[in-house]
Copies of this chain bind each other. A is one copy, B any other.
């Protein structure tokens, strides 16, 4: 029965008004008289008309399309970010184009260009590296980026609004907690160097160490992005004679890797080794002992990023805004008093 889908012209002619009026009813850009409005609404219902966003995207200045780039959607931290942003986008009538960078700046660039080719209104990115997005904006024939908000990483990148946690404070709190329990040899496990947020977690921990007169007692271990290589890296460290009495894992995947490594080596947590993780998600609450962790306010990340993006879309140019959100140390069961060091035991 239905031939083509009805267009705005069909609606207009059935309602006995002009296409402009019909259009204005559909997306209240300009006021419309009550009588016209009612007949347009009736025509829309009768015909089953639906706005074709492809067409309005081409003609109008807004596509109501926002791009989102994450390193890896299977990481619950990024998935939660997507979840939060998607809900906000729906509320405000936007659709989300989601792409994955696989932690690769080159791929990220390609994916962003694909998004730009869709004429997205804005962009929310957890960049693969701190400066990767700045690189996309530069160059001879660089993609002209729409307003973009960076989450979690790239906090200092010029030209972008950013949302990130107070990682220094988070690292400081975690290390202080461990030091307070008597730990003197702390391994810090992370996936990657040269990421500002990671550097700051380390810096915070270092600050606590220095304050306690333990300068240089931390060892930073870089384990790469996947669980197994992280586990391998920390396992190696735990095998040493002077192995650490505590691990500070700088991401949720690092925490998982640390736990697996400890388990694999038959080390009791926390009596043999204490663990402080990062982030706080459901699966952590199935572990026993419950994981002591530095929680990031991931829902607030999403809402702050969305707010910043909407602000910039409506307000246009203004100074770059940087939102810093607090971390919370959640002390649970995976941290306890440091065991006597092996050396000390031997000497005794």
The listed residue (B73, B260, B283) touching A79 by CB distance below 8 A is B73
The listed residue (B80, B114, B117) touching A74 by CB distance below 8 A is B80
Chain B residue at minimal CB-CB distance from A227: B282
State the CA gap A57–B118 with chains docked (Å): 9
State the CA gap A95–B120 with chains docked (Å): 12
> Which chain B positions have C-beta within 8 A of A86?
73, 98-100
Interface size on A, residues (CB 8 A): 55
Within the complex, the shortest CB–CB distance from A4 to chain B, in Å, comes to: 10
The listed residue (B98, B144, B287) touching A5 by CB distance below 8 A is B144
Within the complex, the shortest CB–CB distance from A116 to chain B, in Å, comes to: 7
> Which chain B positions have C-beta within 8 A of A263?
286, 288
Which of A54, A90, A227 has its CB near the most chain B CB atoms (within 10 A)?
Answer: A54
> Which chain B positions have C-beta within 8 A of A5?
144
The listed residue (B73, B111, B117) touching A51 by CB distance below 8 A is B117
Within the complex, the shortest CB–CB distance from A83 to chain B, in Å, comes to: 5
Complex copy number for this chain:
2
Flag if B73 contacts A113 (CB, 8 Å). no
The listed residue (B53, B95, B256) touching A283 by CB distance below 8 A is B256
Flag if B53 contacts A118 (CB, 8 Å). yes
Chain B residue at minimal CB-CB distance from A288: B263
Q: Is A225 an interface residue (CB 8 A)?
A: no
State the CA gap A95–B48 with chains docked (Å): 27
State the CA gap A90–B98 with chains docked (Å): 11
State the CA gap A58–B46 with chains docked (Å): 25
> Which chain B positions have C-beta within 8 A of A285?
256, 260
Within the complex, the shortest CB–CB distance from A305 to chain B, in Å, comes to: 16
Q: Which A residues contact B (CB, under 8 angstroms)? A: 2, 5, 47-48, 50-55, 57-58, 63, 72-74, 76, 79-80, 82-83, 86-87, 90, 95-100, 111, 113-119, 140-144, 227, 253, 256, 259-260, 263, 282-283, 285-288
Can you list 18 pairs linking A and B with CB atoms under 8 Å apart? A2-B141, A47-B141, A50-B113, A51-B117, A52-B117, A53-B117, A53-B118, A53-B119, A54-B57, A72-B83, A86-B100, A90-B114, A95-B115, A96-B97, A253-B282, A256-B285, A283-B286, A288-B288
- Closest A-B pairs by Cβ, 9 of them: A48-B141, A283-B283, A259-B286, A54-B57, A98-B98, A79-B79, A54-B119, A54-B58, A53-B117
